[in-house]
Chain A
């Protein structure tokens, strides 16, 4: 026999002003099953909760309705209170007579009538509530980090240092990501590799980190705490165990003219190569498209020369699976490819800057390699066309950024800073050179950032023009950069030897496909969606999957690192528990009734419904049925609406509860 207690709140004047609270309490008190119906000034206050707790005990209540504010406000509060008296929290419901009634209706009589309806609905519902226990899911205390850039490295190290195993997957032959290719970093101008490579070595040597380079995530199954991840290890043609990284092979390799990915095409590499000297792992990989043996079945020098016999031309892609508890996505960014036609033609443009047409128009990452001591020019600033030292260099901001016409609408955030950095690095190497910057606005928010830009302008004499560049043309060996200075209000023409385009930052290729495998949302640009922009910036809507670094939005190094540590923190939080608990308000299938049409499985936004088989103890198939994985279900109820026979129902919002509410409205 149900015994319901109803507690109506005055909320001071907030409710009582427009709703006759006592009248509500009295009317509700007359309803069947309602054991007690009291009103009090502030139900959420300690004395208020005390009243409720007292009644739960004295009346032996089996269900509670609190008629006060929005459940988004206090449902948790009251459920806790009930729990403290041993009542299952899920038999507590609320009626929203404040936001939905007293605050929006001024006619007291009508408002009171409505309030009574609202409470009656909640009583009708709570009569069909039943005790629910939080869902417990075991955790595999092993993290997968996707992407071995600075963010991925940081996350991996933090988690590993906390004593948990980490599987780090990197698409390229070496970890290090974009940062490994940078020259110096703003705002301190300390050498990028000097600060990063030690961390890379740490990763390589960490007992808790299992490193898969030249590998990609193929498939992800399972759910929070219990993922099964399939990883494709691409054929490397070099036996990692035998190889000592001595370098004889790449010195021997005759195929020289291959553009180096690490140098962003500014330099060349052999067909068998380590992307850069400090690579981790310091083991070479063979570029199958460049290798003479693999393409023409000639040469094979490396194999002959290799003292360890590590070369294996028959190497194949290998698929391995890893058991994982949590995933950190740190796939980073790429640059908007300038001038090129793209599938989404909104992102095509800036052909007028002559990138790809004029050798000496390059992008910022290419410039990083040119100024980098480890670069193809060993830090000598030489322009690509003729190796001359450029005496005048123009840096152009926002190439593709903040441009709804032919680029992306957002600000790429880091360009203002690295432009300033580039002008300085340039000036420090070419003392008689002149750097020009065309910019829309200077966005230098951050510790010591604006000071840094001022230094570029005031000490290193970079010429800043506030305005856009309309066109770049080549006339007798000079690049003619025509733009405007909107502050001076005059058109500006600069004769440059080298032009550097700060192209917009875009998510790395293939991130959408990865997101789909992980059930993580992404925006129109392909940046992964955090589950709340303010309060859950690391979490995603896929439980147990976290994001950090530029794959979530444009970021600089310190931000990426901070977010990476945050993600690591979230993972450790998960791993700190024996098992995880989740809200029990999820869908469940009545397997007796399920006709196994699997419409629900098709519709489920979280792939939380699987096709299961019921077998008798001799293993004969009795029937097939849909089955909800409570570890994955987020409780949207789409399956319930779509199931013709209503063989699936949603706890907390069961058919019985909802129909009871409607039917209470006679």
Chain B
């Protein structure tokens, strides 16, 4: 892959410790292959994932950000994911106005049993990001003027 100089997207994933992180573990245990582009950051719960982190990810040159946690009702802390869901709903409105490319932010529920879904999601968003190309717009924002 990296031998030919095809664009390799940088994908930062904020995931909860109890569902999606374990889902990713399961993908591993079942040897489900997916692209190497994703970097997982483990947090206890989607409730802990702050919008500043998403912005920061873009500042660090992420081409796509993934936020993922437990399905509704499965939250290890009963309602962290519900709180997160609400904040994201409002946050998306803002980013949209700011002209942030919404195709570069993904929200998913992936349970500890959904190794296959984790593989699918990562593969798909990597492919998608490759089509979209590097997130030039935000990189422009970030280079010191």
Contact = CB atoms under 8 A, between A and B. Distances in A.
Interface in B1-52: 1-2, 10, 12, 21-22, 24-29, 31-34, 36, 39-45, 47-50
A641 B87 contact: yes
A121 B36 contact: no
A100 B84 CA distance: 25
Contacts of A585: 44
Nearest to A634: B77
The range of chain A's interface size is 35 or more
Given A72-B25, A636-B45, A637-B44, A541 B1 contact: no
Interface string A97-135: 011110111110111011001100100000000000000
Interface stretch (B53-61, B95-103, B131-139): B53-61
B39 A605 contact: no
A470 B25 CA distance: 50
Nearest to A529: B78
A151 B39 CA distance: 49
B76 interface: yes
B8 to A, nearest CB: 9
Contacts of A636: 44-45, 47-48, 76-77, 80
A118 B27 CA distance: 17
B49 A641 contact: yes
A72 B22 contact: yes
Contacts of A111: 36
Interface in A604-623: 605-606
Contact of B47 (A100, A637, A662): A637
B64 to A, nearest CB: 13
Interface in B77-133: 77-80, 83-84, 87, 119
The range of chain B's interface size is 35 or more
B36 to A, nearest CB: 4
B78 A541 contact: yes
B41 A121 contact: yes
Contact of A640 (B22, B25, B48): B48
A652 B87 CA distance: 23
A104 B44 contact: no
A638 B16 CA distance: 12
A603 interface: yes
B15 to A, nearest CB: 10
A638 B12 contact: no
A353 B40 CA distance: 58
Given A637-B48, A658-B43, A605 B79 contact: yes
Interface string A518-534: 00010000000000000
B28 A99 contact: yes
Contacts of B32: 104
Contact of B33 (A106, A635, A666): A106
Contacts, number: 126
A666 B139 CA distance: 13
Nearest to B76: A636
Contact of B43 (A105, A114, A637, A666): A637
Contacts of A475: none
Contact of A118 (B39, B50, B83): B39
A70 B112 CA distance: 13
A104 B33 contact: yes
Contacts of A114: 36, 39
B12 A662 contact: yes
A663 interface: yes
Contacts of B31: 103-104
A636 B57 CA distance: 21
A464 interface: no
A642 interface: yes
A36 interface: no
A92 to B, nearest CB: 15
B36 A662 contact: no
A588 interface: no
B36 A113 contact: yes
A121 to B, nearest CB: 7
B25 A99 contact: yes
Given A100-B24, A662-B60, A521 B45 contact: no
Contact of A659 (B26, B56, B77, B87): B56
Contacts of B62: 665
A650 interface: yes
A566 B53 CA distance: 44
A630 B93 CA distance: 35
A554 B2 CA distance: 58
A101 B80 CA distance: 28
A395 B131 CA distance: 66
A659 B48 CA distance: 13
B53 A662 contact: yes
A521 B78 contact: yes
Contact of B28 (A98, A606, A652): A98
A42 interface: no
A635 B44 CA distance: 7
A423 interface: no
A313 interface: no
Given A117-B39, A650-B48, A665 B78 contact: no
Contacts of A101: 28, 36
Interface string A312-333: 0000000000000000000000
A606 B47 CA distance: 13
A650 B41 contact: no
Interface string A640-654: 111000000010110
A595 B42 CA distance: 29
Nearest to B47: A638
Nearest to B28: A99
A652 B48 CA distance: 12
A372 interface: no
Given A606-B77, A663-B60, A665-B62, 16 more contacts: A72-B22, A72-B25, A99-B27, A100-B40, A104-B28, A110-B1, A113-B2, A585-B44, A603-B47, A637-B45, A638-B48, A638-B77, A641-B87, A650-B44, A662-B41, A662-B56
27 contacts: A99-B26, A99-B27, A99-B28, A100-B40, A101-B28, A104-B28, A104-B119, A105-B33, A105-B36, A107-B1, A107-B36, A110-B1, A113-B2, A113-B36, A117-B39, A605-B79, A635-B44, A636-B76, A636-B80, A638-B47, A638-B48, A638-B79, A652-B44, A659-B53, A662-B41, A662-B53, A665-B60
Interface of B: 1-2, 10, 12, 21-22, 24-29, 31-34, 36, 39-45, 47-50, 53, 56-57, 60-62, 75-80, 83-84, 87, 119
Ordered nearest first, which 5 A-B pairs have the shortest CB separation?
A: A637-B48, A99-B28, A638-B47, A636-B77, A103-B28
